[in-house]
Structure 1
Amino acid sequence: MPETAGAGRRFSLLIAMLFLGILLVLANWAVAQEGAETVRLDGRALFSVNSSDTLGAEVRARRVEQRLGVLVRALETVPKAAVEASGSERVIVVAGVRITTVSPIDAEDSLTDIDTLAARWATAIESGLREAVERRQGFGGSFFADTLAALQTVLSRAWSSVVSVVPRLLAAALVMGTTLLVASGVNRVLVVVFKRRIADKTLENLIRQLSYYSLILLGVLVAADALGFSPGALVTGLGLTGLVLGFALKDILSNFVSGLLILALRPFEIGDQIVVGPTEGSVERIELRATQIRTYDGRVALVPNAEVFTSRIVNNTADPIRRGNVLLQVGYNTDLDALVERLRGSVASVQGVLDDRPVTVRIDELAADAITMNIGFWTDSLRSDYKQTTSDVRRHIASTMEDMGLPLPEPDLWRVVPAHLEEWKTALSSCREPLHPTSGAEKNDDMKGKSSK
């Protein structure tokens, strides 16, 4: 079991690392999907813009930054930023260039009126342009200022992401940690309850795993909400990407569903002795991923549930009793009636052979050199009892043959003379005339006569 426990810990660590990576991706995506994006010039924040009807917040902010960058390289002095009315919107113009548009939605999100917000943005743009132009006219010129500005932009955006993401990650991690503790506690409580009330290990395994993974799923949904996802949007997103996930996680999902079906349909239970393909042994655990089988030579086999569910399963202990058979070959000169009666009594007296089921002795085959008999009996279906009882039955059969003076089968012995030699001699002498072989002298005379001719 130490190897199994170590493998379980490594698998849990891998799942935890995978979940942490997914949390990071989801947190970044959630921040990117928010309505606000900061406009920066040389790494310094000017103001934040929201998504418009046609552009996302990030695209809108990058466009404003691009226009400001062009103006910084083109202007030597910065004119005053003007605010022009365009219907219900306000347009900020610098040196005849439209920098950005202030919409009523921007004003609503900023909890102010549109004119006040437009004036605020215009002041920030004018101040930022003036400082950027002065930096390029100072020490190091434009090259030094552009390099420093690029570095400041990267660092400021990274810091902004950290400030936005880390609190959400901590909240999500706290939710998942609490969920794991609660799920483990519920699992232990169920173990105690089932130990006192219900002795069905398979039912206990099913309820424990369903409750555990249900709590984990609930924790994932709450953690996603802490990251900025609504549960409805998360479920919708999973539905849209279900096809891709189905192909990517086909084997994992197949094993998971097969595990649920095995636990629900119960073709075998924990403790049963089964045969699945080339694997035979006792079922120790039924997980949602694989079924753990202890083979008769002491090894542990983890068979994927999809393979178990689709394979031919032989459950040797589905019934508490099992029929055993032993084959015996005897000669044709054997008194079969006496032998059958002796065998029935001898096998029935073996310890482990059930008394309420009759011992059967049948003739299976009449071969050229022997009669094949089939001795059937019933015993406990556990492999240890079955094997021991079968061995004792064979030993009693050998003792019965010896007591009756019957030879035991010897497959390597081939008879090359008749069994009753004297009878065969008498039969042959009565149906054949005696042979008179010629003497040596007569044979020589005959040969001479033939040569003279």
Structure 2
Amino acid sequence: MEPIKILMTQLREIARGSIELLPQIAVALFVLLFTIGLNKLIGFLVDRVLARTKLRPSLKELFSLLSSMLVWILGLMIAAVIVFPGLTPSSILAGLGIGSVAIGFAFKDVFENFLAGIIILFRREMRIGDFIECEGIEGEVEHIAIRESHIQQTDGQLVIVPNSILFKNPVTIRTHQSSRRMTVICGVAYDVDVDEAREVISEAVATCESVLQGDKPIQIFAQEFASSSINFEVTWWCGSKPVEVRASRDEVVATVKRALDDANIEIPFPYRTLTFKEPLPIAQTEEN
């Protein structure tokens, strides 16, 4: 019977302690309810303030999330101190510090991507709608979140890239400016007048609708003496989006080809001459 008496005594002590804590628990619940209301109010005010700024939507979400976390941390700390008077804010922060070290080691990659996402969100260079290339991944930036970014490739596939990759590796932003310089190589035969060929190519490129002119000059340079042609480096400016680049290259190549044909300027192709050391025997046909 002695164990049963000890158990009953312990249960009575637990019940007595719980009853004594009821006022503190009630106050703590009130603090939590107040925290919920305060969180909604601060969230509403933060959204109103951020709506007047030109920050990215993902960056606005980050500020809203941080403000909400701050309110909840303060509310939970106050409720814990009320229920357990022995706790102090310094002891809670010390416990959080020790716990954060363990959590940091366990979720190293998650925090790395989180911090990289914050830095990327504050950058102005990479925006939603930009076409980028990083580590063999090329496409349009559709979304930048705290942990990851969504890249829509030109073939329709969606790539979800951890932000740490975009932060630690070089990123080429192909649409950082609205125009991009393009270059193709065009060869003409050796018996063609170089100045005439340059003029024909320049006039042909200038007629292309996709070629930007004005402060973006068209440049034609004789580049090299190739094996069967004199090669020109043809340079112009066009739109920076991938589809604009492909369309402009197609238009320029086709237009230059037609212009050279109309001017009777040969675009040479490799010739192959076969030389035999011994004369080849010619088969004799028998006459009937």
User: Which residue matches 1:368?
Assistant: 227
* Structure 1 counterpart of 2:68, from 215, 219, 231: 215
Question: Is 1:186–1:212's contact at 8 Å kept on the other side of the alignment?
Answer: no
One-letter amino acid of the counterpart of residue 225, structure 1: I
One-letter amino acid of the counterpart of residue 58, structure 2: N
Question: Is 2:58–2:146's contact at 8 Å kept on the other side of the alignment?
Answer: no
Q: Which has the larger radius of gyration?
A: 1
User: Residue 414 in 1 paired to residue 281 in 2?
Assistant: no
C-alpha distance in structure 2 between counterparts of 1:336 and 1:42, whole Å: 107
- The within-5 A match list for 1:78-227 is 181=40, 185=44, 189=48, 193=51, 198=53, 200=54, 202=56, 204-227=57-80
User: Which residue matches 2:240?
Assistant: 381
- Aligned residue for 1:41, secondary structure, equals helix
User: Which residue matches 2:104?
Assistant: 246
- Residue 313 of structure 1 deviates from its aligned partner by 0.6
User: Residue 308 in 1 paired to residue 179 in 2?
Assistant: no
* Structure 2 counterpart of 1:390, from 249, 264, 269: 249
How much is the aligned-residue C-alpha RMSD, in angstroms?
A: 3.5
- Residue 328 of structure 1 deviates from its aligned partner by 1.5
- Residue 352 of structure 1 deviates from its aligned partner by 2.4
Question: Is 1:362–1:375's contact at 8 Å kept on the other side of the alignment?
Answer: yes
User: Which residue matches 1:285?
Assistant: 143
* Structure 1 counterpart of 2:6, from 41, 44, 63: 41
One-letter amino acid of the counterpart of residue 259, structure 2: T
One-letter amino acid of the counterpart of residue 210, structure 1: F
Greater relative CO, 1 or 2 (CA 8 Å, sep 6+): 2
One-letter amino acid of the counterpart of residue 315, structure 1: I
One-letter amino acid of the counterpart of residue 328, structure 1: C
C-alpha distance in structure 2 between counterparts of 1:171 and 1:329, whole Å: 83
Q: How many pairs are equivalent?
A: 263
Q: For each residue in 1:7-48, what CA deviation from the matched residue of structure 2 results, as whole angstroms up to 9, or x when unmatched? A: xxxxxxxxxxxxxxxxxxxxxxxxxxxxxxxxx723344765
Question: Is 1:176–1:219's contact at 8 Å kept on the other side of the alignment?
Answer: yes
One-letter amino acid of the counterpart of residue 242, structure 1: S
User: Which structure features the higher share of helix residues?
Assistant: 1
- Aligned residue for 2:237, secondary structure, equals strand
Change (3 A) 1:46 1:346: closer
- The within-5 A match list for 1:267-346 is 267-346=125-204
C-alpha distance in structure 2 between counterparts of 1:365 and 1:301, whole Å: 41
C-alpha distance in structure 1 between counterparts of 2:10 and 2:74, whole Å: 34
Residue ranges of structure 1 left out of the alignment (5+ in a row): 1-39, 50-155, 419-453
Q: For each residue in 1:349-375, what CA deviation from the matched residue of structure 2 results, as whole angstroms up to 9, or x when unmatched? A: 211212212111112222222222210
C-alpha distance in structure 2 between counterparts of 1:189 and 1:348, whole Å: 51
User: Residue 401 in 1 paired to residue 254 in 2?
Assistant: no
One-letter amino acid of the counterpart of residue 392, structure 1: E
- Residue 243 of structure 1 deviates from its aligned partner by 2.6
Question: Is 2:188–2:197's contact at 8 Å kept on the other side of the alignment?
Answer: no
C-alpha distance in structure 2 between counterparts of 1:331 and 1:347, whole Å: 19
One-letter amino acid of the counterpart of residue 252, structure 2: V
Q: For each residue in 1:114-164, what CA deviation from the matched residue of structure 2 results, as whole angstroms up to 9, or x when unmatched? A: xxxxxxxxxxxxxxxxxxxxxxxxxxxxxxxxxxxxxxxxxx89xx69x98
One-letter amino acid of the counterpart of residue 254, structure 2: R
C-alpha distance in structure 2 between counterparts of 1:177 and 1:240, whole Å: 27
TM-score (norm 2): 0.76
* Structure 2 counterpart of 1:237, from 71, 95, 107: 95
- Aligned residue for 2:191, secondary structure, equals coil
One-letter amino acid of the counterpart of residue 207, structure 2: S
Change (3 A) 1:168 1:341: farther
C-alpha distance in structure 2 between counterparts of 1:46 and 1:382, whole Å: 74
One-letter amino acid of the counterpart of residue 376, structure 1: T
User: Residue 257 in 1 paired to residue 110 in 2?
Assistant: no
Residue ranges of structure 2 left out of the alignment (5+ in a row): 276-288
- Residue 254 of structure 1 deviates from its aligned partner by 0.7
C-alpha distance in structure 2 between counterparts of 1:231 and 1:291, whole Å: 37
C-alpha distance in structure 1 between counterparts of 2:150 and 2:31, whole Å: 33
- Aligned residue for 2:208, secondary structure, equals coil
One-letter amino acid of the counterpart of residue 334, structure 1: V
- Residue 324 of structure 1 deviates from its aligned partner by 0.7
